[in-house]
Copies of this chain bind each other. A is one copy, B any other.
Amino acid sequence: MSAALVRRLDSAAPGFTEALDALLEWDTSESSDLRGKVEAIIADVRRDGDAALVDCTRRFDRWAPADSGALEISRAELDTALERLPESDRLALTGAAARIRAYHEHQVEESWGYVDEAGNRLGQRVTALERVGLYVPGGQAAYPSTVLMTAIPAKVAGVDEIVMVVPTPDGTRNRFVLAAAAVAGVDRVFAVGGAQAIAALAFGTTVVPRVDKIVGPGGAFVAEAKRQVFGPVAIDMIAGPSEILIIADDAADPDLLALDLFSQAEHDAAAQAILLTPSADLVERTAAALERLLTEMSRADVIRASLSGRGALIRTRDLDDAVAIANRVAPEHLSIQVAPEQEQRVLDGVRHAGAVFVGAASAEVMGDYAAGPSHVLPTFGTARYASPLGVYDFRKRTSVIQLSSDGVEGVARIAAQLADGEGLTAHAAAARARLAGFDHNG
């Protein structure tokens, strides 16, 4: 029975590398059909603006805005949603927001500068983006946590205006999502989703303002639309399915491991939950816990599809082997549930992961909602080069070069020499014109 729920692998067995590669594979190829549909929607929005948004909303979200103004959800409606929320939910939202804000305040980088020995002033200005767009999914699953996890870093960054878009299928507005927008300090919210929402944010319409960057997760249409608008507008990333990788030893509690694997797997059938452990015994005990606890899960069907399709319990040679495999996978979430005396060594060995959760108390679910860091994380091995969504995604830098009329001498000689070497004679002339005798700098 347990073999049917989740596969077992052994890192010492022949063919393990190939089996792991096959397990990690995920079809990222764009369908040209999807590409064409998204191109058409974007072209419609660029040409017809708000009228296209109203039309798409009627077709895809099955409700008819009275006019384009009806696409905007007012600040008053957000505030009302927050007021009417049960107190326990309201406190959870504001409690999570406070923790997320506190964490992200550590990410604010300041402008800096210095004066070199020749008296030249050099530095870098770090400033906020003017306007950003947040895409918040609102279909089958509506996630107030995603509002907090994207809007609060933008707010801490000092973005002038935060514009959120969220589909409201059949016209149903999710009050939890709207309340989260109020808590996070989102400036404007539009009840529009899909590729049409991305197009509106990228190019602007009469009611939806054009933004400088679009962040947040979405389905296939949203991902493809983000890909297509990238350039005129920045995007955060194209997210793949969510992943967890747990490194555990005999000190771990199989029931907790099972619940942690479930909470990844319940997202959708493509989600990936993997256990790495040197303990053959823990593999067996976890397999049994998965079987036993699955029956208590309301989303058991999704969990079963995910675990059987993309899950694995992998026995490793030792903990170092587990760490090496984790670095190869570069998972979105890495959970470490080992004996306390092993924790630091395992943590120190980790090089590539979106977020690391250390110790059994630090369940991955804490990071999804309230620990502090954003839950928007690099997936599909991109933790090799990418970072969690953060304040730095909403700020940008400008080099500042302020040479003095005395200090320029050495710099100008180097510049002229290199420009000569590159055959750029106007460059060389512009540099030499700043050499001695030059007195234009006041």
Contact = CB atoms under 8 A, between A and B. Distances in A.
Contacts of A265: 426
Contacts of A402: 357-359, 362
A16 interface: no
A415 to B, nearest CB: 4
B28 A231 contact: yes
A308 interface: no
Nearest to A122: B372
Contacts of A121: 358
A353 interface: yes
Given A263-B426, A398-B383, A403-B371, A419 B365 contact: yes
- Interface size range of chain A in the complex: 35 or more
A421 B144 CA distance: 9
B299 A425 contact: yes
A419 B129 CA distance: 31
Interface string A372-404: 111001000111111110101000111111111
Given A129-B385, A397-B390, A430-B260, A421 B367 contact: no
Interface stretch (A5-13, A46-54, A94-102): A94-102
Interface stretch (A55-63, A68-76, A109-117, A317-325): A109-117
Contacts of A291: none
A440 B253 contact: yes
Contacts of A374: 399
Interface in A321-350: 337, 339-340, 347, 350
Interface of A: 28, 88-89, 91-93, 95-96, 99, 102-103, 106-107, 109, 112, 114, 116, 120-125, 127, 129-130, 141-145, 176, 212-213, 231-234, 238, 251-253, 255-256, 259-260, 262-263, 265-267, 296-299, 303, 337, 339-340, 347, 350-374, 377, 381-388, 390, 392, 396-405, 407-408, 410-415, 417-419, 421-431, 433-434, 438, 440-442
Given A144-B422, A255-B433, 13 more contacts: A92-B413, A99-B116, A141-B422, A212-B384, A262-B430, A297-B426, A303-B426, A361-B440, A365-B430, A367-B399, A369-B419, A370-B415, A388-B397
10 contacts: A93-B418, A103-B122, A129-B385, A256-B430, A260-B430, A263-B430, A356-B398, A358-B402, A359-B442, A383-B396
10 tightest Cβ-Cβ pairs between the two chains A and B: A373-B399, A340-B442, A92-B417, A355-B399, A360-B440, A262-B426, A387-B397, A259-B430, A369-B415, A234-B385
